[in-house]
Amino acid sequence: MQRLYDFLRRHPTWVDAFWAFVLLGMSVLGGPIHSDYTVGVTDTAFVPITLALCLSVALRRRMPERMLVLAALAGLAQLIFDVPMIPADFAMLVVIYTVAADGARWASRFALAGGLCAAPLAQMRWNDAQTGMLGNAVLAIILTVPFALAWVLGDSLRTRRAYFAQLEERAARLEKEREAQAKVAVAAERARIARELHDVVAHNVSVMVVQADGAAYVLDAAPDQAKKALETISSTGRQALAEMRRLLGVLRTGEHQEVGEYVPQPDVEQIDDLVEQCRTAGLPVDFKIEGTPRPLPSGVELTAYRIVQEALTNTRKHGGPNAGASVRLVYFDDGLGLLVEDDGKGAPHELYEEGGVDGQGHGLIGMRERVGMVGGTLDAGPRPGGGFRISALLPLKPAH
């Protein structure tokens, strides 16, 4: 049964042809629906009119506009050749419904106008003298109702199809938007993790390299200093591993994580520890805070910490052996200001102008991305008197 139903749905024209054949048989067997009908010139017109109306039913879904015109011409021929109502006239209702549901807008309006005029014209052409004028008018109104109802049903089906098509289009658009937002979120998360990994690895590894070089240099002459340098390397390595675990924990979705397993994100208060770590590593750093310290949004605090961390890392990389640095934190009413300067030889020009070449310069790129995410501004470049300068302004609310 299901196969038959699927077959009929795939071949609607065959179904329409079957009903057209049934309507043709009823018309031939029944003849005109009028008691005064006599065989004559109308008998000659009866056959082509009936065939035209049945053909409009058979092809109504393949060519709705053309079949509407064909049915209208058949109706006019009935009026001209005085062929009273026949069973095939039912095709007009079917065609009007089809055009209202699937046809062009002009055809739908034409079908409505023709359907409203069909019954009154038929009553005027074949009125019953015994019924009277009032009776014929009432009968015309009654016979108009099926035509109007057929058009209303077809137009309602058109509106419903359009509504469901709009819903499907909206659902597809929302699905695409969700996919695009998911891709953007994934890309942003990957960029954030990449920045975090760069900051953690670059800073801690640079400290470890400096301490290792210093320990190797004084290993024989000053064993105590070498021992202290090795301890710094050990503590820095542990700190790097802790932060690496925290970052990797973000990627381990679905795994059970115990409370306290990963260290929290660094904030402004830990900048003092960062500065002290750099001093221990041999980089003189002057650290000052201006204004009244107060809690800040976590994103602003993490950005501030990472900017200072990256700036001091760059000083150790590019400043030279005798470079010193200064860090200033300024609390404003509507944001936090950062100023990190050094008196070294500064970074190569392409690192801060072009964003890095041959895989270098990602630290400054990460700084600009972090500052942009919180709606702040960043300025990085060489100082007039030598060295390098990084200044940033982080608002408390992101810019829109």
Which of 126, 151, 167 is where one domain is finished? 126
Higher pLDDT pick, 144 / 216: 144
Q: Which two tokens stand for residue 211?
A: 């301490």
Q: Which two tokens stand for residue 95?
A: 């065609």
Total structural domains in the chain? 2
- Given a cut of 60, whether residue 62 has pLDDT beyond it is yes
The verdict on residue 266 lying in a domain is: no
The verdict on residue 116 lying in a domain is: yes
**So what's the pLDDT on residue 77?**
92
**CA-CA-CA-CA torsion sign (364, 302, 272, 232):** negative
- Given a cut of 80, whether residue 124 has pLDDT beyond it is yes
Mean pLDDT of 193-206: 69
The verdict on residue 171 lying in a domain is: no
Q: Tell me 89's DSSP state.
A: G
Give the model confidence (pLDDT) of 347-373 as tens digits.
Answer: 555 555 544 433 345 567 778 888 888
Cβ pair 203, 310 in contact under 8 A: yes
> What distance in Å separates the CA atoms of residue 283 and residue 321, rounded to the nearest whole number?
9
Q: Is 182 helix (H, G, I), strand (E, B) or coil?
A: helix
What average pLDDT is seen over the chain? 81
User: What band does 166 get if pLDDT is binned at 50, 70 and 90?
Assistant: very high
- 40-44, 193-197, 229-233, 381-385: range with lowest mean pLDDT: 40-44
The verdict on residue 338 lying in a domain is: yes
> What distance in Å separates the CA atoms of residue 180 and residue 186, rounded to the nearest whole number?
10
- 9-18, 63-72, 95-104, 208-217: range with lowest mean pLDDT: 208-217
- 128-137, 246-255, 316-325, 367-376: range with lowest mean pLDDT: 246-255
Q: Is 340 helix (H, G, I), strand (E, B) or coil?
A: strand
**So what's the pLDDT on residue 39?**
41
The verdict on residue 67 lying in a domain is: yes
Higher pLDDT pick, 287 / 189: 287
Which of 81, 104, 126 is where one domain is finished? 126
> What distance in Å separates the CA atoms of residue 361 and residue 320, rounded to the nearest whole number?
17
Domain around 89: 2-126
> What distance in Å separates the CA atoms of residue 20 and residue 51, rounded to the nearest whole number?
9
User: Phi and psi of 341, rounded to 5°?
Assistant: -130, 155
User: What band does 229 get if pLDDT is binned at 50, 70 and 90?
Assistant: confident
The most confident of 202-206, 301-305, 337-341, 361-365, by mean pLDDT: 337-341
Element (H, E) at 326: strand 325-331
Share of the chain above pLDDT 70, in %: 80
Higher pLDDT pick, 40 / 55: 55
**So what's the pLDDT on residue 200?**
66
The verdict on residue 230 lying in a domain is: no
User: What band does 183 get if pLDDT is binned at 50, 70 and 90?
Assistant: confident
- Given a cut of 50, whether residue 41 has pLDDT beyond it is no
Q: 3-class secondary structure for 39-75? A: CCHHHHHHHHHHHHHHHHHHCCCCCHHHHHHHHHHHH
**So what's the pLDDT on residue 248?**
64
The verdict on residue 64 lying in a domain is: yes
Instruction: Please report where in the chains the tokens 């990602």 appear, as a residue.
Output: 362
User: What band does 136 get if pLDDT is binned at 50, 70 and 90?
Assistant: confident
- Nearest to residue 318, comparing CAs of 287, 352, 286, 285? 352
* Cβ neighbourhood burial of 72 (10 Å; 0-12, 13-18, 19+): middle
> What distance in Å separates the CA atoms of residue 73 and residue 79, rounded to the nearest whole number?
10
The verdict on residue 315 lying in a domain is: yes
- Given a cut of 60, whether residue 252 has pLDDT beyond it is no
- CATH code at 291? 3.30.565.10
User: What percent helix, strand, coil does the chain show, rounded to 5?
Assistant: 65, 10, 25
Which of 74, 109, 126 is where one domain is finished? 126
User: What band does 38 get if pLDDT is binned at 50, 70 and 90?
Assistant: very low
**So what's the pLDDT on residue 220?**
73
Q: Is 356 helix (H, G, I), strand (E, B) or coil?
A: coil
Long-range contacts, 138-146 (Cβ 8 Å, 24+): 143/119, 144/115, 144/116, 144/118, 144/119, 144/120, 146/93
- 25-39, 86-100, 145-159: range with lowest mean pLDDT: 25-39
